Structure 1
């Protein structure tokens, strides 16, 4: 996501943001270094595999709402958010028995589950020691965010319970697993530059919605991503019900029985995957799902109305548009 173009917003601003992100990348590597080469290699494994650096970008953009933010504080705040995110990926891969992450073997498949879990813990510890240098209010927010991440993972693992609305349950998981950390990233940036409580709350609300847009647009890309370079149908192969499928199930009486069957179970036959993708792409539910992503993107941008005008606010608006437009 760091390929976001801010040149139309302000060329000098874009140059400054990219320079800050370069400094954050170097600090990420340093902070993930350990006392032994093995732990350093394992801890930097996913960092070196790339990633969108979406959360550091949010920290940087929000930190530019007011002049005078300390560059070191910006970098440390961004590192806390990214390391918390990456640490959670190590744990997620163990729980999901994932074999690949960011195009490389997952840590659990390259080493084993124990190493992956312990390396995730190591990165959480590095995030915690870094956030302690920023102040107690940062420590509190990171701890509360981490609690939401864990609760979201537990809710996802248990699944919707009897009496739960499956779509609302799914959106709640997204809010806790994705929205919470993105909201905290935006708030961290605002805190670094001394934003008012009103602006901090607006940044957090914006981040919550952008987090949902981020994940829900991924749901659509998994179905309609032939032009993006991504292999479509991963969720269908795994039998994971995402936004379009859950919306289908809400109106099952009006849905083709074959499509309901194909989206009710993991698909191991590639012909069935292709059939399911074709049926979904032709179904009105895709337009309905895109409309939901657009609606939430509009909500996100509406929260920015209280922010001061300038390139930082324009950058946050542009970032939201880019995330939403991936699925169009």
Structure 2
């Protein structure tokens, strides 16, 4: 997930900083025990583009991008993301999770969970050098992530709209860490508090939009997603087929029907609405190449042009 960066100086600066982040990740995932190093680095090779570190680096452009805490902050958010990926992946039943192999594909679930714990520990070690405020920011984000996972596990309260509940879960589980990326980047670079506040609002909405885009990319009935929740109202018969056992007769056909169903367009509209809210949060920031790149991310995550479903 990379925005179009038209400013050459910004692009060159980001490239150099991203290279430094990669070196930092390599150091942070190294252990005296070779097996731990291998396990910790598994997802660094397969998890795709560094979305959250990129947000840290772009946020730092509103302060001093060369400040010593910027690259460590980017490493912290990526380590935290990878740690949650290890933990969340164990709960999933598919071989691939959000475009990357499940972390327990090569090892059992216990090793995957402990590897996630190792990455959390390394992130905490780096975070301590960024100061108590950074620690508090990260702790609050972690609280929200855990709360979101509990809400996802327990489901909506009686009388609560399942769709509202799902969006709340996404804001806690995905939006919180995306928001922290901008907040830590602003903090580490010495940017104004107003910049950090705007980037928190931006990051949370962008994180929700990003997760919704993932749900749209490969919709199934294996877990509660916005398309599936919308289907419960629009097409109860198809919803019942999708939420039944995958071995059930007609399940594959039901998945195929979902992937061309009108609810996908409604879900896409929600992703665009979230991305638009993220873009609006940037309106108070200075007009500069970094802001343009952040705005471009909104379009990258949730294109406004209608997409074909199927």
TM-score when normalising by structure 1: 0.86
The answer on 1:203 being equivalent to 2:199 is: yes
Per the alignment, do residues 36 and 151 of structure 1 end up closer, same or farther by CA in structure 2, a change over 3 Å counting? Answer: same
Distance 1:107 1:215, change over 3 A: closer
**Partner-residue secondary structure (3-state), 1:108:** coil
CA apart distance, 1:157: 1.8
**Partners of 2:134 and 2:100 in 1: how far apart?**
33
Q: Shift of the alpha carbon at 1:32?
A: 0.9
Question: Within 2, Cα distance between the matches of 1:105 and 1:279?
Answer: 24
Separation in 2 of the partners of 1:107 and 1:199? 35
Equivalent in the alignment of 1:122: 118
Q: Does the CA-based 8 Å contact 2:7-2:289 persist in structure 1?
A: yes
Q: Does 1:154 align with 2:154?
A: no
Per the alignment, residue 278 of structure 1 pairs with: 257
Change (3 A) 1:103 1:323: closer
Counterpart of 2:241 (choices 262, 275, 287) is: 262
Q: What secondary structure sits across from 1:15 in the alignment?
A: helix
Q: Is the 8 A contact 2:67 2:189 kept in 1?
A: no
Q: What residue in structure 1 maps to residue 231 of structure 2?
A: 248
CA change 1:291–1:13 in 2 (3 A) is: same
Q: Distance in 2 between matches of 1:191 and 1:73?
A: 9
The aligned length equals 306
Alignment partner of 1:161: what SS? coil
User: Residue 320 of structure 1: CA displacement?
Assistant: 1.3
Does the C-alpha gap of structure 1 residues 191 and 243 become closer, same or farther in structure 2, counting only changes over 3 Å?
Answer: same
Q: 1:75-100 CA distances to partner (integer Å, 9 max, x unpaired)?
A: 10001100011011111122335544
1:274 Cα deviation after fit: 3.7
In the alignment, is residue 297 of structure 1 matched against residue 275 of structure 2?
yes
- The 1:275/1:156 distance shift into structure 2, 3 A limit, reads closer
Q: Check 1:49–1:256 CA distance in 2 against 1; reply closer, same or farther (3 A cut).
A: closer
Q: How many Å apart are 1:193 and its aligned residue?
A: 2.2
Could you say if the C-alpha distance between residues 274 and 95 of structure 1 is closer, same or farther in structure 2, counting changes exceeding 3 Å?
A: same
| Pairing partner for 1:312 from 282, 286, 290 | 290
- Where 2:73 maps in the other structure, the secondary structure is helix
The alignment partner of 1:164 has SS state of coil
What whole-Å deviation, never above 9, does each CA across 1:14-73 have from its counterpart, x for those lacking one?
A: 12112211110111011111111111111111112242211001001111123x333531
Between 1:272-281 and 1:295-304, the stretch displaced more is: 272-281
Indicate how the Cα distance of structure 1 residues 103 and 185 shifts in structure 2: closer, same or farther if over 3 A, else same.
Answer: closer
**Unpaired runs of at least 5, structure 2:** none
Moved over 6 A (4+): none
Q: Cα gap change, 1:50/1:108 in structure 2, threshold over 3 Å: closer, same or farther?
A: closer
CA distance in 2, matches of 1:276, 1:161: 28
Partner residue in 1 for 2:30 = 33
1:156 CA displacement: 1.3
Native 8 Å contact 2:98 2:214 kept in 1 = no
In the superposition, the TM-score normalised over structure 2's length comes to 0.91
